[in-house]
Amino acid sequence: MVIVGAGEAGARAATALREEGWDRPITLVGGEIHPPYERPPLSKAALLAETEPVATTVLSQDRAAALDIALVLGTEATAIDRAARAVVLTDGRALPYSRLLLATGARPRRLTLPGHEQALYLRRFDDALALRPLLRPGVRLVIIGGGFIGLELAAAAVARGCAVTLVEAQPRILMRGVPAEIAAVIADRHRAAGIDLRTGIDIERIEPDAVVLADGSRITADAVIAGIGVVPETALAEAAGLAVDNGIAVDATLATADPVIFAAGDCAACAHPLYAGRRIRIEAWRNAQDQGALAARNMLGRGEAIAAVPWFWSDQYELTLQIAGLADVGRTMVARDLGDGAQLLFHLAADGRLVAASGVGPLGKIAREIRLAEMLIAHRAAPDPDALASPAVRLKTLLAARTKAPEVA
């Protein structure tokens, strides 16, 4: 077994292969020199830590050795020879495979406007180490992009005393996959923290000491960080003749058109049964975990279709945002007030089926509710909208009714 990509999905797949009983060689190839580590802390704890941060390793060298997993780090895969069933590395080696998993992840989307070379990005642990010295009191920081990375960076920077301006070209922040009602709560919290949040305006250019907007106004900047999304790493797959559709195209079992090659994690665009086979690519920690484990089982011939509900989260200040499912599939929305500033939004398809749930507020108020909503989505439930709207009706009661099982504790 060969796995290309030593991130969360690749590491999880490697360990899952051993857990599932595979006792033959496993090789995990990664371009970074670091053993596989978690990315979510990079925009949070790694920037806020008082002392020099350490990567949160998910598969250490010692653990890999104990599982007899060969870690090949600091080396890129350059080609896949499908006829010979081998992966070619930058050092010239060819690794034979019986099954191959592509867990190549994604890279930051780069700016192309004049002065773009001055912008910094955050994707890898070394990026976080490079950004930390910039985040200090009095630094004037411009962040380009109002998605999760840009907003989490803004929250960390303002907590470290920076003067932060965030510029988003779209009409609002969090345009992708987050309802406007929840995005407004997050925007208000950032403004309350002192962030100058500007939406609906393009950037003309970046100068050595400023960002110039399309309306001619200038924002003085000591540093500029861009967080405008990521691009799935598909070049290896494309060169090998595999289909790409906003990611490496895979079926519900994570298999490509080549039955011995699979893809998982940020690079994989999966046909999801819960959403009528719609091809979905999710950039989220838990998705990488779920797909890594599923890919391992299917590399061993299990033939399991993906069942996990898409889920992602973001922590900003004291607020947690969590979304289960795909909100854009919904045709109607039902709100539930959880109190203490927490709210849930339920998204229903035209046939009444619950297809997504969005929540924002303190973690303790929304995490369990989103988890129960996720289970309702997985069961293809179509709850009564009035019941969803009423805090007096517990979601675990709706779930128990759907599953005809005792209520969950």
Q: Give the tens place of pLDDT for each residue, 364-407.
A: 999 999 999 999 999 999 999 999 999 999 999 999 988 764 44
Domain match, 239 and 102 both: yes
Number of domains in the chain: 3
State how beta strands 106-108 and 218-220 pair.
Answer: unpaired
Q: Which amino acid, 340?
A: D
> Which distant-in-sequence residues (6+ apart) come within 8 Å of 392 by Cβ?
none
Mean pLDDT of the chain: 96
227: amino acid identity, one letter: G
Is residue 249 within 8 A of residue 301, CB to CB? The reply is no
Q: Answer yes or no: is 23 within a domain.
A: yes
CA–CA gap between residue 400 and residue 100 (Å, rounded): 40
> What integer is the mean pLDDT of 131-136?
96
Domain boundary among 299, 331, 359: 299
Q: Are residues 144 and 194 in the same domain?
A: yes
Q: Comparing 177 with 138, which gets the higher pLDDT?
A: 138
- Alpha-carbon distance 348 to 262, whole Å? 32
Residue 403 confidence (pLDDT)? 74
Domain co-membership, 149 together with 292? no
Q: In the prediction, which pLDDT does 388 show?
A: 97
Number of Cβ atoms within 10 Å of the Cβ of 15? 22
Domain edge (last residue) among 171, 201, 226: 226
Q: What is the per-residue pLDDT for 222? A: 98
CA distance 87 to 90: 10
Distance (Å) of CA 276 to CA 279, 280, 312, 342, 380: 9, 11, 20, 31, 12
On whether both 157 and 207 belong to a single domain, the answer is: yes
Res. 409: pLDDT tops 50: no
Confidence of residue 249 (pLDDT cuts 50, 70, 90): very high
**pLDDT over 60 (residue 134):** yes
Would the pLDDT of 21 be above 70? Answer: yes
- Asked if residue 304 is part of any domain, the answer here is no
Q: What percent of the chain has pLDDT over 90?
A: 97
* pLDDT of the residue at 404: 64
Percent with pLDDT over 70 in the chain: 99
CA distance 374 to 34: 34
Supply 155's token pair: 């929250």
pLDDT at residue 314 above 50?
A: yes
| Domain span including residue 212 | 110-226
- Phi, psi torsion values for 88, nearest 5 degrees: -95, 135
Residues 82, 20 share a domain = yes
Distance of CA 205 to the CA centre of its chain: 29
